[in-house]
């Protein structure tokens, strides 16, 4: 599926797999479960451009 933002198309990022519940707690008075990612996504260096200025960034 191709998505568009301000006229530029992109592919959605794959969803992360989560492991079992890491901890239980409360957030703003509501009980919640905190989960951790099963694996970290790999980062890559890419050449990015912002307003005509080129720089290297993590993606």
Print the SS3 string covering 24-45.
Answer: EEEECCEEEEEEEECCCCCCCE
Which pairing describes strands 53-58 and 45-50: parallel, antiparallel, or unpaired?
Answer: antiparallel
CB-based contact 35:21 (threshold 8 Å) = yes
Note the pTM of the prediction, 2 decimals: 0.31
Q: What is the mean pLDDT of each run of 10 residues along the chain (59 residues)?
A: 81 72 82 78 76 77
pLDDT at position 45: 74
Domain map (residue ranges) of the chain: 16-40
């Amino acid at each position: 599926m191709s998505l568009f933002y301000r006229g530029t198309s992109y592919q959605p990022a794959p969803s992360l797999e989560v492991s079992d519940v890491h901890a239980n707690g409360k957030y703003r008075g509501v009980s919640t479960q905190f989960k951790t990612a099963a694996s970290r996504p790999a980062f890559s260096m890419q050449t990015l451009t912002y307003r005509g200025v080129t720089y290297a960034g993590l993606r």
